[in-house]
Structure 1
Amino acid sequence: MHAGLPKYVPVNLKDIEAAGFQEGDEVSLETLKRIGLINPSGRERRLPLKILGDGELSVKLNIKARAFSTSAKEKLEAAGCSLTILPGRKKWVKPSVAKNLARAEEYFAKKRAAAAGADSAEQASA
């Protein structure tokens, strides 16, 4: 059903350069919608932003996106831009499964604490 549907709104570096951002400006999904680089209607309005590496960037910008391509990340770091990777949405989990996961995490946290306590007691006695 979902085959072939995009997971991100892709934006190339050449498009960001052509948009005329000034030194130190913030580039995010909201700012790109406001200037008209991204269509704020339709399915794209709910997708996260991904920066692609086609083109070059000559100004230092603060870029906030969910994902960066490898080439885009290299070019942006070379240009001195600050990159912020935004967190994704949490996957919905059935309440009973979430409860079991929480129990398991609590159990293993206690196990790790007990093991760490035993290791420190051995080191103190040695």
Structure 2
Amino acid sequence: MELSFNRFYEHYLELWKTSNLAELKGTISPEYQAREIAGGKVFDFGYDESIRGWEQGFKFVIENKAKWDLKEVSRISLRDHEVMSILSAQLVIGGQTLETGNLFFQTFAYDFGWKLVRSYIEAGIPIDLMSKAHLTQ
């Protein structure tokens, strides 16, 4: 199971890094649920809102010729067929990292294939604090 997750996860990250929304949609469960904290406000959303968010983010990346800087902080097996990945995501434009990034707690489950089923996202974290998060790995 670990090998199949690793293959799936590498593919998932590659889709993210290349802003490939068409294929990324297939890695997210239709029952997906998420919570994002941004500016101290809580936003709960599901699959449709998530796809719109990815679309906006990928559009920004493409229009600004940006690159994703994704770093895995940790990976935790939650159950036999469930894995949580904690990762940071920052954007780099013209060689400069934006001043804030996001921390993602993403849960993937296996049911006839791996899918992203839940996320908790801390958005808008200052990059100096994001760097400290990587030091505690």
Common topology (TM > 0.5): no
- Greater Rg by CA: 1
